[in-house]
Amino acid sequence: MRLQSSAAFWAILASASPLGIDAKRGLRRQLASNECTIMAAEALSVTGGEDPDMILECELDPDDADGISGISVPIEATQEQLNALRGMIESGKVNPGRDRLNTSGAKIDGKGVHFPPGLDIANEVRKNNMEDVGRRRLAVTKGDLKMLLVKVTDVGNLAVADTPTFMSDEVFGTGVDVNNLKSGLEACSWKQLNVVVGNNDPNEVAQGVIEVNIGISLTNNTRSAIRNAVTTAVQTKLGYTLPGPFNYVLYSLQGCYVDCGWAAYAYVNSWNSVYQGNYYKQPGVLIHEIGHNFNLAHSGGLNNSTYTDHTCSMGNPHYSDEGFQCFNPAKNFQLNWYNPAKITEDPRVNGYTKTLTLVGIGEYNLTLNAPIATATSANMIYPVTVKLETGGGADYFVGFNRATGPNYLNDEGDNEVTIIQVDGNDGALLSELFEGKASARTVSQPLQLRWNWKDCYDYSKYD
């Protein structure tokens, strides 16, 4: 949808709030549409420490946002209510970017959508099973994926100092930078994902990069107000509602001045990620954020922390411009890049002892080349990820964490077998890295693993 009037646009810029008039008057009103779309953003900490809690917002229908699409405001509720909603998202009961929230009991003002304390927020969720909600693109992980980078300049002329051409190279490798978002995703997916840089739009000042000015300052506005101002400015410049022809759109801000501590944040199962300062240059950070757009959750480690699986880009990423690591077996099962090489084992049916030959994702070509070409049975395909069905809440995913190829910068458990525990849905959740189970192998040699699945049921072993 195009903007209905430029007056609405300027009202928003002037007020530093997506709902400026109400913010000025301090009034709260009901949403006209009585619903908004649940949005969940994950922020990556600058220090590489614990991520903050998942940020919950609601995307307003244009009727509730002066005719503008893509305006997303904080959900204002008690910690208990917010945690209930986070729990539903983490357990896969709510799909952010898609499912809706009934707001008939809520009020909106310049801060966000306020829900009355005590309201059972689970009862307010409206499931939305449509594949394509309006023109919104949900997570797509395969095929040609169009991406756009937006360089933002604020009202005080604050912008990343780099030229658009340099930024295009850093993110998409359109010049000399070999380690970038495009090369990383394409390598990890074994080219099943192809990043298409930009859309040949006349507004692109470098391949895949546009510049916008926002009429508010980065220094004294909230994260949400800034992001809404950028979305509005991009839509005005391009003449269509985001994400438009793009699958993923990245915003680059000069820095963070209010509610900081984040290097970047991204919307889960959606199209947008936002970077501050120099973090847009770091391919590990970019892959982590686009991973959230792909609907991937964080990956916890051996210390029971939510964010310390260093075998996976969804743990702490590399804060540098070096190469990359890919994803852990649970994420590899969730992603659709290795479909012929994903298997499910149910030990209750197939027996508790099994010999399997695994390859790491860095050697997926071992599966794709000779073995498949000459295969006479599916058994000739070496699996890269094995799901162990338990019939209970927790499932396990087993992989060979070969540190080679696109996964060579892997930081933990190199050339060992890793086991990921997932409570709830298939790999969409927090995962837990368990102790490695095999020693290093010669490169280009699949690993034969004899496994007693019963170990996986023995929780006490890992406590």
Residues binding Zn ion (CB under 5 A): 42, 44
Query: CA–CA separation, 182 vs 193, rounded Å?
Result: 9
The CB-of-247 to Zn ion minimum distance in angstroms stands at 19
For residue 29, the SS3 value is strand
User: What are the φ and ψ backbone dihedral angles of 260, each rounded to 5 degrees?
Assistant: -100, -160
The CB-of-287 to Zn ion minimum distance in angstroms stands at 11
Q: Which is nearer to Zn ion, 39 or 159 (CB)?
A: 39
Show Cβ contacts of residue 438 under 8 Å, excluding neighbours closer than 6 positions. Answer: 400, 415, 416, 417, 447, 449
The CB-of-40 to Zn ion minimum distance in angstroms stands at 11
Q: Which is nearer to Zn ion, 44 or 430 (CB)?
A: 44
The CB-of-169 to Zn ion minimum distance in angstroms stands at 25
Q: Is the peptide bond before 243 cis (omega within 30 degrees of 0)?
A: yes
The CB-of-90 to Zn ion minimum distance in angstroms stands at 13
Looking at residue 51, the DSSP 8-state letter turns out to be: P
Q: Which is nearer to Zn ion, 265 or 434 (CB)?
A: 265
What single-letter amino acid sits at 188? C
CB atoms within 10 A of CB 405: 18
Looking at residue 206, the DSSP 8-state letter turns out to be: B
The CB-of-55 to Zn ion minimum distance in angstroms stands at 11
Q: Which is nearer to Zn ion, 38 or 44 (CB)?
A: 44
Looking at residue 431, the DSSP 8-state letter turns out to be: E
Query: CA–CA separation, 454 vs 456, rounded Å?
Result: 5
Q: Which residues pair with 443 in a beta bridge?
A: none
Stretch (H or E) spanning 86: helix 79-90
Alpha-carbon distances, residue 182 vs 179, 242, 282 (angstroms): 8, 21, 12
Query: CA–CA separation, 19 vs 15, rounded Å?
Result: 8
Q: Is 103 in contact with 30 (CB distance < 8 Å)?
A: yes
The CB-of-263 to Zn ion minimum distance in angstroms stands at 10
| Tokens, residue 411 | 């930081």
Q: Which is nearer to Zn ion, 42 or 99 (CB)?
A: 42
Closest CA to 338 of 374, 303, 381, 285: 381
The CB-of-313 to Zn ion minimum distance in angstroms stands at 10
Q: Which is nearer to Zn ion, 42 or 170 (CB)?
A: 42
The CB-of-274 to Zn ion minimum distance in angstroms stands at 12
Q: Which is nearer to Zn ion, 53 or 322 (CB)?
A: 53
CA-based max dimension of the chain: 73
Q: Which is nearer to Zn ion, 68 or 249 (CB)?
A: 249
Name the closest residue to Zn ion (Cβ). Answer: 42
- Helix ranges (H only) for 99-174 are 164-172
Q: Which is nearer to Zn ion, 17 or 224 (CB)?
A: 224
